[in-house]
Amino acid sequence: MKKFLVTGATGFLGTHLVDALLRRFADCSDLTSIRILSRGGNPWNENPRIEVFHGDILNAGAVDRAVESVSGIFHLAGFVTRNPANGADLYQTHVQGTRNICESALTHGGPRVVVVSSSGTIAVSRQPKIHNEDSLYSNDVVAFWPYYLSKIYQEKLALSYHALKELPVVIVNPSLLLGPRDERFSSTGDVRLFLAGKVTNIPFGGLNFVDVRDAAEALIQAMLAGLPGRRYLVGGYNMTLAEFFSMIQRVSGVRAPRFSIPERWSRRHDC
């Protein structure tokens, strides 16, 4: 009987993952329940297959209780911010939280752990080059971005549990998530600013974008078929920001900015 724990279940990607799990196993008696570790409420309070454990990812005792008897863990709990002043909080959430998950997993028989990281740990560059899962960490590029640095540390820690203690850890690296139900505007905030006419210029460079629903399905595949010790980039299209804004203009009718920031100016404001 399968029972999955999902941390970060009430976040943007987490809600779509839980819904995808419920759909995937809708007619499968092999799935007894989906357990969520949450500090808040339960958006699925009418669904008997959802089991809520109240607690914080930084509380080792709460994590241990939630991990007991599960056959797989989706670790999505995180903190998204661009503010460099939040470096300590980012490290605590992503690194110590992951340590708590991995330690409890070892205690309770070593269920598979799918850790959700970010494409920003390996798939970023100052040059227009294509990266893959074997690319080196991008410490030099993200040196002033505590969010991505904390994700690098998170990955290294999680993979060390596989290398040194044989815990079946799989890393998933989604690119920028877009889609419905981003209530905290963690990923779609810039789109909202564009639609409000508050984006006045086009930064140099580009991004990769993926539908949040596709990313949720990829997490399930990582749980069912991913190779322990491996990373999996989950993305859609590579676009320059000019192409991205042009696409939003076509869909929304809101005019895209015309002024592009030169590369040399963008580099001055990397942080």
**pLDDT tens for each residue of the chain, 271 residues long:** 789 999 999 999 999 999 999 998 877 666 668 999 998 777 887 788 899 999 999 999 999 999 999 999 999 999 988 888 999 999 999 999 999 999 999 999 999 999 999 999 998 887 777 889 999 998 888 888 899 999 999 999 999 999 999 999 999 999 999 999 988 887 788 899 989 999 989 888 888 999 999 999 999 999 999 999 999 999 998 998 999 999 999 999 999 988 887 665 555 444 3
Calculated CA dihedral for residues 8, 11, 16, 21, nearest 10 degrees: 20
Q: Is the pTM of this model over 0.85?
A: yes
Query: Which residues are CB-contacts of 121 (< 8 A; sequence separation ≥ 6)?
Result: 137, 138, 142, 148, 151, 152, 155, 173
Regarding beta strands 206-211 and 237-240, do their DSSP bridges make them parallel or antiparallel, or are they unpaired?
antiparallel
Domain ranges of the chain: 2-182+208-239
Homologous superfamily of 2-182+208-239 in CATH?
Answer: NAD(P)-binding Rossmann-like Domain (3.40.50.720)
